[in-house]
Amino acid sequence: MYDVVISGAGPSGSKCAEILAKNGFKVALIDKNIAWRKPCGGAVHSRIFKYYPQLRKMNFHQISGITMYSADYHQLKHKWNDTRDHSITVDRLEFDNFIRNIAIEAGAELFDKNLSYDFIIKNNRRIGIRTKTPSGSKEYLGRVIIIGDGMSSKLTNKLGLKKNIEELMFAKCAIMEGENNLDENFMYIFFKPFKGYGWLFPLSEKSFNIGVGIFGLDHLKYNLNQLYTEFLRDPHIKKFLPNHNYIKKWEGAYPLPGIGVNEKILYSDNIMIIGDAAGFVSPISGEGISPSVISGNIAAETAILAFEEEDISKNTFKKYRYHPTIKKIARNYKMQRSMINFLFENKGSNLSRMFELAERDNSYREEVVGTFLLNHTPSKDFLLKIK
């Protein structure tokens, strides 16, 4: 019997488990396979240091700028080392294990190779989670259940929260090694004529993460594997990667949330949903690590409040959904989602026009940077200028 059972030991689940364990609660942290590397670009915003100051002592690769290209290769380059802290790019396997170990050191109990597949129900109340393991089925009882096991979650399906194809983003990426022409201080994003983009993120002087993502109903028009292969062979990419003998350390593909936070599903009686499972991924940039950590942190604080008030009903857990930071993230993602159809209209012509304007107008350029990278709400005439 646990105070809290958390399904999913990624960034959101690990942060949630850490906070709860530090406050003296008995926590079961369940994961299907901690040796699995999530397909992800691995770019992490500098706000992560607020939640994991320990990362400053690690040797994860530092990033101080970004170069973005429109579909017709208008360029927007932005460097931020003078205005805010550096970001980092990470190998997700190493990063996830690092923050997971922090949760374990805080007192959370990790149960690996446990695939959560159903709830334990008693007297019409969910009182725990059933898992499949190599040795058979197991049960974990908890007063509070937190779901943070991503887009493949079977528990959200049991709650009737199945995703539609237009709500998803699919990505394929690889970690490669070899001599390259990348500026190791910069990330590179290449927006495409379809709803999606490719990326090149340095991980060290000679290693990098390369991938492609596509979202919305464009899934039905394009083949992800083909887009990925074409991106690797693109002459513009070859300028950065001129060799033909790059060592592929790893490759994978995975679905991601594509429409932002689904506020309607964030909580119920004694249940909260965090991370990818709840949509904490930017619809434009695909950034999800930092917002997932934030969601896990706030869910933990809400659970602590519920225990203190001896009320683990949705009456208390609604405070998670209506937390000012959660509302701000959801609002920003909703704004981004409303922009997507417009930006990618006519094979990305509006986005190209935006970058073209940014090349000539510094004030407009700053607004583009704020919208894409800092989740700022654009001014009323931001999109009108494009027309």
The C-alpha atoms of residue 209 and residue 199 are separated, in whole angstroms, by 8
Axis crossing angle, helix 324-343 with helix 345-360, rounded to the nearest 10: 110
**pTM of model > 0.85:** yes
Torsion of CA 38, 168, 209, 76, to 10 degrees: -150
Give the number of other Cβ atoms within 10 Å of residue 321's Cβ: 21
What average pLDDT score do residues 340-366 get?
A: 88
Q: Is residue 114 part of a domain?
A: yes
Q: Is residue 355 part of a domain?
A: no
Q: Is residue 280 part of a domain?
A: yes
Q: Which of 131-145, 188-202, 313-327, 370-384 comes out lowest in average pLDDT?
A: 370-384
Distance of CA 369 to the CA centre of its chain: 19
Q: Which of 30-34, 190-194, 270-274 comes out lowest in average pLDDT?
A: 190-194
Average per-residue pLDDT for the chain: 93
Q: Is residue 51 part of a domain?
A: no
- Per the CB < 8 A criterion, the answer to whether 20 and 300 are in contact is yes
Q: Is residue 83 part of a domain?
A: no
pLDDT at residue 286 in the model: 85
pLDDT in tens, 58-71: 999 999 999 999 99
First to last CA, the chain: 60
Q: Which residue has the higher pLDDT, 36 or 83?
A: 36
Measured CA to CA in angstroms, residue 66 lies from 54, 86, 188 at distances of: 24, 11, 6
Q: Is residue 27 part of a domain?
A: yes
Instruction: State the CATH number of the domain containing residue 108.
Output: 3.50.50.60
Kindly report the CA angle at 173 between 167 and 176, in degrees rounded to 5?
165
The C-alpha atoms of residue 192 and residue 227 are separated, in whole angstroms, by 10
pLDDT at residue 158 in the model: 93
Tokens for 349, please give them. Answer: 């012509």
Asked whether residue 82 carries a pLDDT value surpassing 80, the answer given is no
pLDDT at residue 84 in the model: 75
Tokens for 323, please give them. Answer: 């937390």
Tokens for 230, please give them. Answer: 């074409």
> pLDDT tier at 117 (50, 70, 90 boundaries)?
very high
Q: Is 229 left (phi over 0), alpha (psi -120 to 50) or beta?
A: alpha
Asked whether residue 110 carries a pLDDT value surpassing 90, the answer given is yes
**Amino acid letter, 269:** D
The C-alpha atoms of residue 360 and residue 348 are separated, in whole angstroms, by 19
> pLDDT tier at 83 (50, 70, 90 boundaries)?
low
pLDDT in tens, 231-252: 999 999 999 999 989 999 999 9
> pLDDT tier at 386 (50, 70, 90 boundaries)?
confident
- Half-sphere CA count of 103, side-chain side, radius 13 A: 34
Measured CA to CA in angstroms, residue 46 lies from 140, 332, 373 at distances of: 35, 18, 11
Asked whether residue 383 carries a pLDDT value surpassing 90, the answer given is no
| Number of domains into which the chain is organized | 1
189 forms beta bridges with 68, 199
pLDDT at residue 114 in the model: 98
> What's the per-residue H, E or C state across the chain?
CEEEEEECCCHHHHHHHHHHHHCCCCEEEECCCCCCCCCCCCEECCCHHHHCHHHHHCCCEEECEEEEECCCCCEEEEECCCCCCCEEECCHHHHHHHHHHHHHHHCCEEECCCEEEEEEEECCEEEEEEEEECCEEEEEEEEEEEECCCCCCHHHHHCCCCCCHHHEEEEEEEEEECCCCCCCCEEEEEECCCCEEEEEEECCCCEEEEEEEEEHHHHHCCCHHHHHHHHHHCHHHHCCCCCCCCEEEEEEEEEEECCCCCHHHCEECCEEECHHHHCCCCCCCCCCHHHHHHHHHHHHHHHHHHHHHCCCCHHHHHHHHCCHHHHHHHHHHHHHHHHHHHHCHHHHHHHHHHHHHHHHCHHHHHHHHHHHHCCCCCCCCCCCCCC
Q: Which residue has the higher pLDDT, 368 or 19?
A: 19
- Per the CB < 8 A criterion, the answer to whether 275 and 10 are in contact is yes
- Per the CB < 8 A criterion, the answer to whether 351 and 191 are in contact is yes
pLDDT in tens, 16-61: 999 999 999 999 999 999 999 999 999 999 999 999 999 999 999 9
Q: Is residue 315 part of a domain?
A: yes
What average pLDDT score do residues 166-190 get?
A: 94
Asked whether residue 139 carries a pLDDT value surpassing 70, the answer given is yes
Q: 318 is in which domain, residue-wise? A: 2-38+91-164+259-335
**Amino acid letter, 250:** W
pLDDT at residue 375 in the model: 67
Q: Is residue 282 part of a domain?
A: yes
